Structure 1
Amino acid sequence: MDVEELKSLLPPVFNQICQEIRINDAIIEWVDIIFEQIGTASKCPPHAHTWFEFNYILSGQMVTWFGDEFVKVGEGEFFLIPPGTIHSHSYTRGNPHEGICFRWRIRCTSTEIEDVQGESFCKRLQQLHTWKSGSYRDNGSLHGMLEQFFHEALTGQSELALQLLLIHILEYLCLLQQSMKGQVSSFKTVRDPLVRKVEVYLEDFQSNRLNVGELAASLHMSYGHLSRQYKKLTGQTIVNRMNHIRLEKAKELMKLPSLRIAEIAEQAGFADLCYFSRAFKKQYGASPQNYRRQQAATSANVPQPLANGDSLP
Structure 2
Amino acid sequence: MGILERKSQTQFLTHHACRTITLNDVVIEWIDILFEDSSGVSYCAPHSHDWYEFNYVVQGTMHTALEDGIMHRMDQGTFVLIPPGFVHSHRYELSSPHEGLCLRWRMFQRTADADTASKLDAIAIYDKLMRLTIGVTPPKPDEFGIGKYLETLLAQSEAGEQAIFLQMSFVRLLLRLTESLPAAALAFSPVKPTNRLVRKVDIFLGDLQDRELDVKSLAASLHHSYAHIAREFKRHTGRTIIERMTEIRLYKAEDLLKHTDLSIKEIADRAGFSSAFYFSRVFKSAYGISPTAYRKGCFSD
The corresponding residue for 1:30 is: 30
Aligned mate of 1:123, from 123, 127, 149: 127
The corresponding residue for 2:170 is: 166
**Using a 3 Å threshold, how does the CA distance of structure 1 residues 115 and 142 change in structure 2: closer, same or farther?**
farther
Q: Is the 8 A contact 1:113 1:120 kept in 2?
A: no
Q: Supply the distance in 1 between the matched residues of 2:90 and 2:107 (Cα, whole angstroms).
A: 25
Q: Supply the distance in 1 between the matched residues of 2:218 and 2:55 (Cα, whole angstroms).
A: 33
**Using a 3 Å threshold, how does the CA distance of structure 1 residues 49 and 284 change in structure 2: closer, same or farther?**
closer
Q: Supply the distance in 1 between the matched residues of 2:232 and 2:71 (Cα, whole angstroms).
A: 30
The corresponding residue for 1:247 is: none
Which protein has the larger Cα radius of gyration, Structure 1 or Structure 2? 1
> Alpha-carbon deviation of 1:122?
1.4
The corresponding residue for 1:238 is: 210
The corresponding residue for 1:134 is: 138
Equivalent residue letter for 2:210: I
- Relative to the length of structure 2, the TM-score reads 0.62
The corresponding residue for 2:77 is: 76
Q: Supply the distance in 2 between the matched residues of 1:42 and 1:95 (Cα, whole angstroms).
A: 11
Structure 1 unaligned residues grouped into runs of 5+: 189-202, 204-233, 245-275, 296-313
Describe the superposition over 1:199-237 as per-residue Cα deviations: whole angstroms up to 9, x where unpaired. xxxx9xxxxxxxxxxxxxxxxxxxxxxxxxxxxxx8644
- Relative to the length of structure 1, the TM-score reads 0.59
Q: Supply the distance in 1 between the matched residues of 2:40 and 2:6 (Cα, whole angstroms).
A: 21
Q: Is the 8 A contact 1:61 1:72 kept in 2?
A: yes
**Using a 3 Å threshold, how does the CA distance of structure 1 residues 280 and 165 change in structure 2: closer, same or farther?**
closer
Equivalent residue letter for 1:176: S
C-alpha RMSD over aligned residues: 3.2
Matched, 1:54 2:54: yes
Matched, 1:97 2:35: no
* The 10-residue stretch of structure 1 (31-40 or 51-60) with the greater mean CA deviation from structure 2: 31-40
The corresponding residue for 1:282 is: 220
**Using a 3 Å threshold, how does the CA distance of structure 1 residues 172 and 114 change in structure 2: closer, same or farther?**
farther
> Alpha-carbon deviation of 1:126?
1.8
**Using a 3 Å threshold, how does the CA distance of structure 1 residues 42 and 121 change in structure 2: closer, same or farther?**
same
Q: Supply the distance in 2 between the matched residues of 1:25 and 1:76 (Cα, whole angstroms).
A: 32
User: Among the aligned pairs, what percent are the same residue?
Assistant: 28
Q: Is the 8 A contact 1:57 1:76 kept in 2?
A: yes
Q: Supply the distance in 1 between the matched residues of 2:43 and 2:226 (Cα, whole angstroms).
A: 28
Structure 2 unaligned residues grouped into runs of 5+: 188-201, 234-301
* The 10-residue stretch of structure 1 (79-88 or 10-19) with the greater mean CA deviation from structure 2: 10-19
Describe the superposition over 1:252-310 as per-residue Cα deviations: whole angstroms up to 9, x where unpaired. xxxxxxxxxxxxxxxxxxxxxxxx6x466435433355668999xxxxxxxxxxxxxxx
Equivalent residue letter for 1:149: L
Q: Is the 8 A contact 1:54 1:103 kept in 2?
A: yes
> Alpha-carbon deviation of 1:3?
4.8
> Alpha-carbon deviation of 1:133?
2.4
Bigger relative contact order (CA 8 A; separation at least 6): 2
Q: Supply the distance in 2 between the matched residues of 1:69 and 1:76 (Cα, whole angstroms).
A: 20
Q: Is the 8 A contact 1:80 1:131 kept in 2?
A: no
**Using a 3 Å threshold, how does the CA distance of structure 1 residues 61 and 114 change in structure 2: closer, same or farther?**
farther
> Alpha-carbon deviation of 1:9?
4.5
**Using a 3 Å threshold, how does the CA distance of structure 1 residues 289 and 166 change in structure 2: closer, same or farther?**
closer
The corresponding residue for 1:106 is: 107
Q: Supply the distance in 1 between the matched residues of 2:107 and 2:66 (Cα, whole angstroms).
A: 22
